[in-house]
């Protein structure tokens, strides 16, 4: 389905098409990775003067509660680039309420590569971080500037996360920003986080347990809705399986069923079924959620992600030449696998604070 959406958007000449992408150089320059971009008709629009580029690689995500029809809203964004920090805080300032919550699912640098620019103050010795747009191609009226001040930071053992209280100031106006820092990276993890947040809420309310259609796959349906709003959400089979594992574990806890320990990480990952993953996957450790291969190198010659879940034996197949879907080979495979992964991986997803 993912490939079909991209192809339909690329072939359509209609700017209102659901899956169209803006391919202008100005927009491409704002993407951290060449293969991850917000759908043009489902993205955040920066508040800038008329005629100026309002693109930021961020997507508004809406998931509905099937029982109450209430809406739960998120923004899925790539990690901000160093030269676009003002754009990121512009988005937070205008799109969030009086109190904003940022969940950062990547370290700023992983495996020697920058995944996200340092967009917030790190310690009380230097508590204030100033930002300003400085584009030479935009008029002064289009510039956006302000500061972020670290008020307090603690480590919360219950969620294994650093929690920081920040104050965002633009002119005389201020907002409170709660920042949660988790180790991890990008688009797939963002989709995984949102999917689990939504599905676990349904589980706790009892909706998942009393579903009328027992054949319906709530995970598939949720991930599909996410991908309709932002490409590549829940990027690989590791992450897709992780959602099933967490839901299974939490369902057993809710029902008082003793669960078996999670099995070691798999030897092989199932391949995607027409752009979505088959549910019959082997179990894996929660630690695997951050270690599976994800999109990475924006300079890669391949702009399309390679087949997700392609294992060592299939690397010589014709599929390797025709399909450029994301490679999900295990990080701890042998040296040959690591070399292949270094040559081909792209945006180490995502994105995404």
The residues with which 73 forms a beta bridge, in sequence order, are 62
Tell me how many domains the chain contains. Answer: 1
Q: What does the DSSP assignment read for 239-281? A: HHHHHHHHHHHHHHHHHTPPPPPPPPPPS--PPEETTEE-S--
Residue 312 phi, psi dihedral angles, 5° rounding:
-55, -40
Q: How far is CA 227 from CA 8, 39, 57, 62, 76, in A?
A: 14, 10, 15, 11, 11
| DSSP codes of every residue in 138-181 | S-GGG--EEEEEEEEEEEETTTTEEEEEEEEEETTEEEEEEEEE
User: How would you classify the pairing of strands 276-277 and 272-273?
Assistant: antiparallel
pLDDT of residue 41: 93
Condensed to tens digits (0 to 9), the pLDDT of residues 248-260 reads 999 999 999 876 6
For residue 99, being part of any structural domain is answered with no
Domain annotation covers residue 60: yes
∠ CA 272-277-280, nearest 5°, is 110
Q: Are 44 and 95 in contact (CB under 8 A)?
A: yes
Per the domain annotation, does 174 fall within a domain? no
Residue 283: predicted pLDDT: 39
Residues 6+ apart with CB under 8 A from 14: 20
333 in a structural domain:
yes
Q: Is the pLDDT of residue 314 over 60?
A: no
3 contact partners, CB below 8 Å, separation of at least 6: 274, 275, 325
**Nearest C-alpha neighbor of 52 from the set 143, 140, 138:** 138
- The CA R_g of the chain, rounded to the nearest whole Å, is 21
Question: What is the rounded end-to-end Cα distance, in angstroms, of the chain?
Answer: 26
* Spatial separation of the C-alpha atoms in residues 326 and 166, rounded to whole Å: 36
At 262 the pLDDT is 58
pTM above 0.75, yes or no: no
Among left, alpha and beta (phi > 0; psi -120 to 50; other), residue 256 is left
For residue 25, what pLDDT band results from cuts at 50, 70 and 90?
Answer: very high
Dihedral angle, C-alpha 219, 225, 231, 236, nearest 10 °:
0
Residue pLDDT, tens place only, 63-109:
998 778 889 889 999 988 999 989 999 998 888 878 788 888 888 88
Range of the domain at 349: 1-79+185-353
Give 190-223 pLDDT, tens digit per residue: 899 999 999 999 999 888 888 777 778 999 999 9
**Is the per-residue pLDDT at 328 higher than 70?**
no
Buried b (16+ CB within 10 A) or exposed e, 216-246: eebbbebbbbbbbbbbbbbbbbbbbbbbbbb
- Residue 171 belongs to some domain of the structure: no
Q: How far apart are CA 291 and CA 242, in angstroms?
A: 12
pLDDT confidence band for 320 (50 / 70 / 90):
very low
The CB density around residue 25, as the number of other CB atoms within 10 Å, is 6
Q: Are 94 and 79 in contact (CB under 8 A)?
A: no
29 within domain boundaries? yes
Residue 5: closest CA among 40, 53, 48: 40
- Has residue 311 been placed in a domain? yes
- Upper half-sphere CA count for residue 299 (Cβ side, 13 Å): 3
Percentage of the chain modeled with pLDDT above 70: 66
Q: Given this model, what pLDDT does residue 152 score?
A: 81
- Classify residue 96: in a domain, yes or no: no
Query: Across all residues in the chain, what is the average pLDDT?
Result: 74
pLDDT of residue 175: 87
Dihedral over alpha carbons 193, 229, 109, 34 (to 10 degrees): 150
Q: How distant, in Å, are the alpha carbons of 63, 166, 224, 226, 312 from that of 221?
A: 11, 36, 5, 9, 30
Angle at 144 between CA 129 and CA 42, to 5 degrees: 105
The CATH number assigned to the domain holding 5 equals 3.90.190
Provide the pLDDT confidence category of residue 44 given band limits of 50, 70 and 90. Answer: very high
| pLDDT band, residue 269 (cuts 50/70/90) | very low
pLDDT-derived band at 247 (thresholds 50, 70, 90) equals very high
């Amino acid at each position: 389905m993912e490939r079909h959406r991209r192809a339909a958007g690329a072939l359509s000449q209609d700017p209102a098409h659901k899956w169209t992408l803006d391919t202008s150089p100005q927009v491409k320059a704002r993407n951290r990775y060449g293969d991850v971009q917000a759908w043009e008709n489902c993205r955040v629009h920066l508040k800038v003067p008329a005629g100026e580029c309002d693109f930021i690689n961020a997507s508004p995500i809406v998931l509905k509660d099937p029982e109450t029809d209430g809406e739960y809203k998120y923004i899925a964004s790539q990690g901000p680039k160093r030269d676009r920090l003002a754009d990121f805080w512009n988005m937070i300032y205008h799109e969030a309420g009086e109190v904003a919550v940022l969940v950062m699912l990547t370290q700023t640098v992983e495996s020697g590569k920058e995944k996200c620019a340092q967009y917030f103050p790190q310690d009380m010795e230097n508590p204030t971080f100033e930002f300003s747009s400085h584009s030479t191609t935009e008029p002064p009226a289009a510039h956006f500037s302000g500061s972020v001040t670290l008020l307090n930071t603690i480590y919360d053992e219950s969620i294994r996360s650093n929690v920081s209280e920040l104050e965002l100031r633009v002119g005389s106006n201020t907002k409170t920003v709660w920042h949660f820092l988790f180790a991890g990276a990008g688009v797939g993890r963002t989709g995984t986080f949102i999917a689990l947040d939504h599905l676990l809420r349904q589980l706790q309310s009892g909706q998942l347990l009393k579903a009328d259609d027992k054949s319906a796959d709530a995970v598939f349906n949720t991930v599909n809705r996410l991908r309709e709003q932002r490409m590549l959400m829940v990027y690989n089979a590791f992450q897709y399986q992780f959602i099933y594992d967490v839901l299974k574990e939490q369902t057993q806890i809710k029902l008082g069923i003793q669960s078996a320990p999670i099995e070691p990480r798999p030897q092989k990952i199932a391949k995607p079924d027409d752009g979505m993953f088959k549910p019959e996957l082997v179990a894996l450790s929660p630690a695997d959620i951050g270690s599976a291969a994800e999109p990475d190198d924006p300079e890669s010659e391949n702009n399309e992600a390679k087949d997700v879940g392609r294992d060592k034996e299939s690397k010589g197949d014709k599929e390797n030449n025709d399909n450029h879907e994301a490679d999900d080979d295990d990080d701890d495979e042998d040296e040959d696998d690591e070399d292949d992964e270094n040559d081909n991986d792209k945006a180490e997803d995502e994105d995404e604070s």
